[in-house]
Amino acid sequence: MSKEIKTVVLLGAGGIGSYFIWGLSDILGQNFCVAADGERAQRLKNNGLTINGVKYTLNVKTPDEAAGCDLLIVAVKYYNLSSALLDIRTIAGPETTVISLLNGVDSEEIISNAIGAEKVLYSMIRFSVQHRGNETFFDPKRAEGLLFGEKDSSVKSPRVIALENLLSKTSIRYEAVPNIVAAQWKKLMINVSGNLPQAVFGVGYGAYFDSEHLAAIRIQLQKEVKCVADALHIPLELSDPNKAVFAPQTRFSTLQDLDNKKHTEIDMLLGVLLKKAKDNGVYIPYAEYTYHAIKVLEEKNDEKFDY
């Protein structure tokens, strides 16, 4: 019998986290909170968050106050994950289920090493959001939502069923999938091939259909991700982008970060892939070039050079 999820904690109230603030706040009330402390906690309490034009007052708790919840949703940036592990250890009690919404394919491994693999339910989010200052914007109808499942089993476990039961009461889109690891690699391939080339060249989504050269780079990056997945015996098929899914001017998260002079999650998307490729003797030159190109753009934003 599955245990009911009654209390939920969100760690990371950014663009992705806003989807769960939007979906869970009204359903759970005070049983849903955002974990933060210090200056960030005060800012979230004072300012709340505006989502699709609606102001949300946040129930903010320190990690100690949030400890022992039924479900912990980790939605921090990848480069903040190491520093967030202490909070994750504090919040996750013996019966807590932890899901990570970070892109990439190794955040569950990192969290499992910190708190134990038995607490971690593998998951991923398919969701495009525009994040500007204290406001986030997304189209709920376009969100593919949360995918989740047990790492090594296609059978729905009690905690998978419990999460399904919770989300069925909300407007959050979700699906329990039989091979979540393959789904994560599919998303990695889409992110690497769709998110990164546009970031290098500073162009919108429509350029993948209007430039044969950008399209060629996208295809080569897809093939390289598949080569690494093949070496790890993870089933992965190439896919074509759908022109109708996003507006031509859409700028994905990496390009948004660069536009806003922020560091990107390139280490999560390609740093990990490059390491796995090296460990398995796979040569991925397009990925290696793209990794260094994004790093140069970060250095430029950091004003390491102004010439």
Q: What is the pLDDT at residue 245?
A: 79
Q: What is the pLDDT at residue 211?
A: 97
- Residue 277 makes CB contacts below 8 A (sequence gap 6+) with 224, 227, 228, 231, 283, 284, 287
Which pLDDT tens digit goes with each residue over 186-243? Answer: 999 999 999 999 999 999 999 999 999 999 999 999 999 999 999 999 999 998 888 8
Distance separating alpha carbons of residues 273 and 104, to the nearest angstrom: 9
Query: pLDDT tier at 2 (50, 70, 90 boundaries)?
Result: low
- Topology at the third CATH level for domain 182-301: N-(1-d-carboxylethyl)-l-norvaline Dehydrogenase; domain 2 (1.10.1040)
Q: What is the pLDDT at residue 83?
A: 94
| pTM for this entry | 0.87
Strands 130-132 and 135-137, by their bridges, are antiparallel
Which pLDDT tens digit goes with each residue over 78-125? Answer: 889 999 999 999 999 999 999 999 988 999 999 999 999 999 999 999
Q: Which amino acid is at 22?
A: W
Q: Could you tell me the residue ranges of all domains in the chain?
A: 8-178, 182-301
**Considering the chain, what is the average pLDDT of its residues?**
94
Q: What is the pLDDT at residue 153?
A: 80
- Residue 37 makes CB contacts below 8 A (sequence gap 6+) with 62, 63
Dihedral angle of Cα 237, 240, 244, 250, to the nearest 10 degrees: 100
Mean pLDDT of 177-193: 94
Q: What is the pLDDT at residue 128?
A: 80
Strands 49-51 and 54-56, by their bridges, are antiparallel
**End-to-end C-alpha distance for the chain, whole angstroms:** 64
| Of the listed ranges 31-40, 141-150, 166-175, the one predicted with least confidence | 141-150
Which pLDDT tens digit goes with each residue over 258-301? Answer: 999 999 989 999 999 999 999 999 999 999 999 999 999 999 99
- Residue 19 makes CB contacts below 8 A (sequence gap 6+) with 125, 127, 129, 138, 143, 172
Token pair of 273, please?
């892939």
- Topology at the third CATH level for domain 8-178: Rossmann fold (3.40.50)
Most distant pair of Cα atoms in the chain: their distance: 64
The answer, yes or no, to whether residue 126 has pLDDT greater than 90, is no
Evaluate whether 180 touches 173 at the Cβ level (below 8 Å): no
